[in-house]
Amino acid sequence: MEPWGNGVTSFNSNSGISNSSFASALAPNSRVLNSNRNPPNPNLSLPQNHQFVNQSVTNLDMSSTLLLANSNFSQKEQHQFEPQLKRHNLGLTSCSTGVTKIPFVDEVLSTKQQTQIGFANQLNLLPTHQLLQKPFVPPNQDLTGGVREQISAASHLHQQQQQVIYDQLYKATELILSGTFSHAQAILARLNHQLSLNIKPFQRAAFYFKEALQMSLLMISNPVSPIPSRTPTPVDGMFKIGAYKVLSEVSPLIQFMNFTSNQALLEAVGNADSIHIIDFDIGFGAQWSSFLQELPRRDSGPPSLKITAFASPTTHHPIELGLMHENLTQFATKIGVSFELEVVNFDSFDPNSYSVSSDNEAVAVNFPIWSSSSHLPALPSLVSFIKQLSPKIMVSMDRGCERIDLPCPQHLLHTFQYYEILFDSLDAANVTTDTVTKIEKFLFQPKIESMVLGRLHFPEHTLPWKSLFASMGFSPVAFSNFAETQAEYLVKRTQVRGFHVEKRQASLVLCWQHRELMSASAWRC
């Protein structure tokens, strides 16, 4: 691997990484997306003797680190569950679990499927200004007056305790912004004794935000010798992949993001002979394995595919990128698609001086809003850079908490509430506490830290991101009926109740208990 530096790391299908210390174990092995516009009715019952065709998979050696990452991601067996028609299978479905899998990540860990499905008690999360105002309604009107009073008093006390934590986090944020670091430190030290992990979603979300504020305070208050930023290690990367795999099995969140985006991209590029994807959130590359798999099925034959990925050294270890490149390249070669990957250091990226060669290429952009959380001042320049590419389409994802239009303290509390909802949805899957902790630690805590630090460095509020897109000349584009039906079908396959898809104007929204988890939108200029 070439060092990060300020340049780019270029890969192509003729010169892969062959000397990586980690064995290739991420080869995609199943078709997850198709462009047939007539998907099966998700409400139809399954046939009695439905069959499932498993594509051949090349079993690759796995390092001890991969096995270590796998050791804590086991779950209990579930009932078999298959789609009616294999043409519309959204992924490779395990015969023992019926859970749709992300093919690119699935082969990293030979996980035993042991998910115990159940329904945990749900926490009714309220906006901050309503926490002390919602009247309590006893669940059973036949209870004696004394029992009702006790329940009401306990509920009121719980809401008061939550409000106190909200207030302390809000005040600590204000103090950090004003430079009153000692008082902010005192509040965070007090929160250390009030918060812990492995209990309710509210407490866990508050703990991670307290930790993010603590780290940001140390970095901001000591600019001469700040604490070093966390640099991912190869072992961290393997644990991240394990957490990603389990999350994709117990929640429809990842599949909703990947499949909805890919369907819009495939429809936009049509039968172009050369496709160039600009990706601001490549993750582990799982999205592009399913995208690649669809290309040879086109009537015009497989095109060439180039991906320019913007990634930060603080989120991607070079070995992660090398492993991703190697597996995508091998898969592209196997299915006959010319493939090239270029990785650009996002931290040193200058939109005003960087150019992308797009001659005779159909350009499409994957731009989740959170990808710019550490680069908020550059957001207008990034959108302007994307517009200059004249993309066929720009697909964006929003978690409902990318509220850059709010003052910083309100934005952080809004994001805090979002993660409480997200953690609540994880608890409903009834997986082990250790599994939930690893998902939160390796996938969500780094995003919380990045968002908190990025906003504290840029506390000014700006236009809402949709207004910013519109001001730059982008217009929303509705998703196709197939993309909408596919998203609904995917969520219906989830064996945890409470998820559903809503259509809001031109966006598709994944909700948990009627609260927004992820919104997908498409834009053209």
H-assigned helices in 429-475: 433-439, 445-457, 465-471
Placement of tokens 């918060």 in the chain: 195
Under 8 Å between Cβ of 148 and 138: yes
d(CA 131, CA 404): 23
The 3-class secondary structure across 394-416, one letter per residue, is: EEEEECCCCCCCCCHHHHHHHHH
**CA-based max dimension of the chain:** 77
Contact 138, 152 (CB under 8 A): yes
pTM of the model as a whole: 0.72
Cβ atoms < 10 Å from Cβ of 217:
19
Q: What is the pLDDT of residue 443?
A: 92
Burial of 124 (0-12, 13-18, 19+ CB in 10 A): exposed
CB 522 within 8 A of CB 398: no
β-pair type (339-345, 499-504):
unpaired
| Confidence (pLDDT) at 82 | 37
- Per residue of the chain (525 residues), give pLDDT as tens: 343 433 444 444 333 333 333 333 333 333 334 444 444 444 433 333 333 223 332 333 333 333 333 444 433 333 333 333 333 333 333 333 333 344 444 443 333 333 332 323 333 333 443 333 333 344 444 555 566 665 666 667 778 888 899 999 999 999 999 999 999 999 999 998 888 776 889 999 999 999 999 999 988 887 665 555 566 777 877 888 889 999 998 899 999 999 999 999 999 998 899 999 999 998 888 899 999 999 998 887 888 999 999 988 888 888 888 888 999 999 999 999 999 999 998 888 888 777 776 678 899 999 999 988 888 888 898 999 999 899 999 999 999 888 988 999 999 999 999 999 999 999 998 888 888 999 999 999 999 998 999 999 888 888 899 999 999 999 999 999 999 999 999 998 887 888 999 999 899 999 998 899 999 999 998
Sign (positive/negative) of CA torsion 84, 515, 444, 68?
A: negative
Cα 163–Cα 164–Cα 169 angle in degrees, nearest 5: 100
For the chain, the C-alpha Rg in angstroms (whole number) is 23
Angle between helices 201-221 and 145-178 (to 10 degrees): 20
Structure tokens at 221: 């208050």
- DSSP letters spanning 108-121: T-----------PP
Q: What DSSP assignment string belongs to 184-204?
A: HHHHHHHHHTT--SSS-HHHH
Q: Which residues pair with 11 in a beta bridge?
A: 341
Q: How far is Cα 105 from Cα 93, in angstroms, rounded to an integer?
A: 14
Q: Which residues of 264-285 are buried (b: 16+ CB within 10 A; e: fewer)?
A: bbbbbbeebebbbbbbbbbbbb
Task: Find, among 80, 91, 76, the residue nearest to 46 by Cα.
Answer: 80
CB atoms within 10 A of CB 188: 19
Structure tokens at 213: 């504020």
Answer whether 172's CB lies under 8 Å from 413's CB. Answer: no
Q: What is the residue whose two structure tokens read 């006790």?
A: 150
